[in-house]
Structure 1
């Protein structure tokens, strides 16, 4: 039977952490616990793990609310939330080492801050975006947006899980404010019904069901 895009869309994101209970407390306080899974791991890892999870929200006040909640729960700032040409956003690192970006395309608030997330994107930093894109197309994913060898985003289903996108590793590290060097485990496992396999950059997929969206 032919593999379809829905067979291999990103169904879940599992973060591998040293202390799952502590991580669960952090992500509950941060407000993203419904979108990720946690698993205990002591796999060696150093430097940039090659990925980030990016939250898209509606306005600057909501960005500040998520960043503030993360900092109150123990995160550290990699890039403070500031205005830019494309909008407003900042970057934080969770106590388990995972890097999160929170951003909006809006430059002004239109109402009170909320705790609503419009989208979550799992950005994988890859050595060759075109080659990685073709690898995933061969696995049945459908490209939703692509900008040459710089960025590619895949179509997602309606499961409420994160979208999957590819970014040049060096460019992603620069955007996050960290050195591009890293070694060891990525400390993230992607879930889809077509797993298991590993992609060209060593990101591991496993067979899994969809993660139910938050109510």
Structure 2
């Protein structure tokens, strides 16, 4: 029996690793050395929307506000301010290095003092053909958890991993509040036992490093 593949962590490729480290650790509470989001220095050009968004899931709306305030204070641009929706409460922003982040909570009510604790990390990929990319991933050992035709696919993952989901490229850009146009490198690498390979949309997957 083949073990299920999943995303262990993602690596953001940045041009200023010291500044990106300060933002991730200081504003988002993520340790780029050990967390599910890591950093790598590159000089690859990138312009506009890079085709993905990283979502930090929190326990309550107050936590969303706390993280958004910290990110804004650290130089992030607010793309969509925190607001309630049918699915919960959330916001989107763009870090100084260009990465698009969503901060969200499924809860619409607070249950305690605000924290900056992250419950879950979700990587949303905006792809040209959701069904085709889904097939490519399944062939690599990923298992589908939820699927809504050609609009949305969510893959299974164990606790402590990065949850992975697919949207249409333009739909994801609209959701986070940026123009859909972009060029150059995605500037993200997915670490998974499914790798190494490059998927239909040019996202690079690599095998996890071994000790």
**TM bucket normalised to smaller:** over 0.9
Q: Which moved more, 1:32-41 or 1:146-155?
A: 32-41
- SS class of match (2:114): coil
Assess if the C-alpha contact under 8 Å between 1:11 and 1:209 holds in 2.
no
Assess if the C-alpha contact under 8 Å between 1:150 and 1:167 holds in 2.
yes
2:178 matched residue in structure 1: 178
Deviations 1:97-126 (A, max 9, x none): 000001112112121112221211000000
1:138 matched residue in structure 2: 139
2:22 matched residue in structure 1: 25
Assess if the C-alpha contact under 8 Å between 2:8 and 2:36 holds in 1.
no
Q: Cα RMSD between the aligned structures?
A: 1.3
TM normalised by structure 1 equals 0.92
CA distance in 2, matches of 1:182, 1:9: 27
Assess if the C-alpha contact under 8 Å between 2:142 and 2:194 holds in 1.
no
Assess if the C-alpha contact under 8 Å between 1:193 and 1:209 holds in 2.
no
CA distance in 2, matches of 1:118, 1:47: 29
The alignment status of 1:120 with 2:121, answered yes or no, reads yes
The number of equivalent residue pairs is: 206
Deviation at 1:85, TM superposition (A): 2.1
Candidates 8, 11, 32, aligned match of 1:11 = 8
TM normalised by structure 2 equals 0.93
The alignment status of 1:95 with 2:96, answered yes or no, reads yes
Deviation at 1:32, TM superposition (A): 2.3
CA distance in 1, matches of 2:133, 2:86: 29
1:213 matched residue in structure 2: none
Assess if the C-alpha contact under 8 Å between 1:59 and 1:104 holds in 2.
yes
CA distance in 1, matches of 2:78, 2:153: 27
Assess if the C-alpha contact under 8 Å between 1:3 and 1:139 holds in 2.
no
Assess if the C-alpha contact under 8 Å between 2:191 and 2:205 holds in 1.
yes
Gaps of 5+ in 2: none
Gaps of 5+ in 1: 211-215
Deviations 1:134-172 (A, max 9, x none): 1100001000111111111111123x2311111111100
Assess if the C-alpha contact under 8 Å between 2:144 and 2:155 holds in 1.
yes
- SS class of match (1:178): coil
Deviation at 1:3, TM superposition (A): 4.2
